[in-house]
Structure 1
């Protein structure tokens, strides 16, 4: 038995394979899905180790099954700290144009990585991590292993290049929490508008704070006058005041100002009433924080196209396997289904023919 290194593994959505190069192909038939005879070994293989600015000499492992792998060193023994590191990398990739969702504790596993480059999920912390372990151990049912039939794929080069682009922008705004930024988008795209607006608003506050320090406090006339700098740095300048001044000075354009005001108004109503924010308001908050990132990059001499991330807010199809739909085959347009299976019979449905166990108090009556 070779030596092994303890690791902590994250499995972000969407499910996708990470290939070494174009020749590193994956083949899986529906028969292999149904019989669980697919190449489980390859799903446990590391694809590449890349530099993501960890403590030297450590690197991030990319697994063939889409796993992100960190060494279980002291820095990451606490899952929360590992989660922040994973989401920093994910935020950079997302900003750099790769669609990828933030991870939560349920996406993490503890495991081991062998010296030969193969790893195993051993102690999953939640359902998504358990799913990856089950697929890798050939223990998941066909409803889940169908993900292995023609799954989304990405080259390790593309993952690394998106990280480089996004990390360059992320590094310009040290006040921004990568975890909150990424989860704001993830929540929006999964329909959790309350959480999306909350996280997006905090991200806006963090980003405006950086812009305020750079454009107002550091460049203030009379900065040497006693207490003037302290006044500019004080909390008397709430976000609304800061946005108004930045807009008056021409730092913010009309469009960005409009989105910031829309987000602020809806956030205030949500804070005081608990009313679910509108989808448009949550979207405005995300467009605003994206615009602030792009603005800061421009002010610092970097080129960044915010369309890399807001395109998904405008309906661009996200990569990933669609969920299975239960319906009569007659309702499915010809050629629109890539695969299908028959349903198990259930009482009350047309395919059931046997006796059933039932009780009067669970039977529905017409009203």
Structure 2
């Protein structure tokens, strides 16, 4: 795999990489290895896959880029990017090949100890979390959690039961209708494979996922964060032979810090934190606007005047926001 100076990843035009979906799977595997190795990455999508040519000079010409990422890289390469697009290059911390290799090797070791984990689903869950798409993040993160719980169940329960020689016991333990994810988590907790902190994170994430799937309740940031924590705790557990669930805390915290929904300090940005600024073009209605414009006579009226249910909706929203959320309790029957 080739790595460009701008971070573009490239595969040779071999038959096994000709199908975009196969190339996408490989790219996302490497991107996940980079993420777990300490180099922040986000999931690649089908629109990020495009053909190109590598010249002997070392330069790459890319074609038919349809996604915003591809267009941005193409514009930055040929110096046609706008001033706003070029801002991303200011104080951009370079990544050396040496650090990249170390990160990929570290991440590859972690991924290999968490198989069969779907690389693209893990990466998609982290990417959705950062972008604030909490329902999508929770869905992907919980799917990955189920995969790791199944891995622990197979190693610690099914395989050990097979050695007992009891007829049909192994088949019974593989029956997902009986041993749902919630039941598996409970038994793994009782066997001291999963500790209390991890159990609580999984329980919170599971309840939020069930409420979303069965009732359509949109998850909040705390629920998605619980799923993110639960997944990274499980990956740490698998990587350290159950010794430490906090091995990947630095990676997890870096993902949490990038989430656009994280609370920000109230008030104006401190003057010392502002490195660059530019004037915002004023609009008609703002005091600094100068010039001619076509006025629009807008007539506003209270929403309650044409929506008789508005007052009731507001009262219900206030009651809901002031209600105390129940603490993490026992496991229910839903997965």
TM-score, scaled to structure 2: 0.80
Name 1:197's counterpart in structure 2: 138
Alignment-derived partner of residue 294 in structure 2: 357
State the SS of the aligned residue for 1:153: coil
Among residues 267, 276, 279, which one is paired with 1:342 in the alignment? 279
Alpha-carbon deviations, 1:262-285, whole Å to 9, x = none? 111111111111111121111111
Q: Is the 8 A contact 1:283 1:313 kept in 2?
A: no
Partner of 1:150: 91
Post-superposition CA distance 1:93-137 (Å, at most 9, x none):
111222222222233332111133211222112112111111212
Q: Contact 1:95 / 1:308 at 8 angstroms: preserved in 2?
A: no
CA RMSD of aligned residues (A): 2.4
Match of 1:247 in 2: 189
Q: In the alignment, which of 244, 247, 252 is matched to residue 305 of structure 1? A: 247
By percentage of residues, which structure has more strand? Answer: 1
- Per-residue deviation, 1:183: 1.6
Task: Check whether the contact 2:162–2:170 (CA below 8 A) recurs between aligned residues.
Answer: no
Q: Aligned residue for 1:228?
A: 169
Gap regions ≥5 residues in structure 1 = 1-59, 319-330
Q: Secondary structure at the match of 2:122?
A: helix
Q: How many residues align?
A: 293
- Residues 304 and 256 (structure 1 numbering): CA distance in 2 closer, same or farther, change over 3 Å? closer
The alpha carbon displacement at 1:333 in A equals 4.6
Cα deviation, 1:204-263, whole Å, max 9, x if unaligned, reads 011111111111111116543332211111222110111111111111111111111111
Q: Which residue of 1 aligns with 2:122?
A: 181
Q: Say which SS state the counterpart of residue 340 (structure 1) adopts.
A: coil
Cross-structure match for 1:120: 61
C-alpha contact 2:122 2:144 (8 A) present in aligned 1: yes
Is the 1:94–1:309 contact (alpha carbons within 8 Å) kept by the matching residues of 2? Answer: yes
Q: Structure 2: which 5+ residue stretches go unaligned?
A: 260-267, 303-335
* Cα distance in 2 for residues equivalent to 1:309 and 1:149: 24
Structure 1 residues 333 and 212: CA distance shift in structure 2, 3 A? closer
**1:88/1:179 contact within 8 Å kept:** yes
Stretch moving more, 223-232 or 254-263: 223-232
Instruction: Indicate if the aligned counterparts of 1:96 and 1:308 stay in contact, CA closer than 8 A.
Output: no
Deviation larger for 106-115 or 189-198? 106-115
Q: Which residue of 1 aligns with 2:219?
A: 277
CA shift at 1:193, angstroms? 0.6
Contact 2:237–2:244 at 8 Å: present in 1 too?
A: no
More helix by share: 2
Is the contact made by 1:106 and 1:125 (CA closer than 8 Å) also made in structure 2?
yes
Q: 1:63 to 1:302 in 2, by over 3 A?
A: farther
With normalisation by structure 1, the TM-score equals 0.73
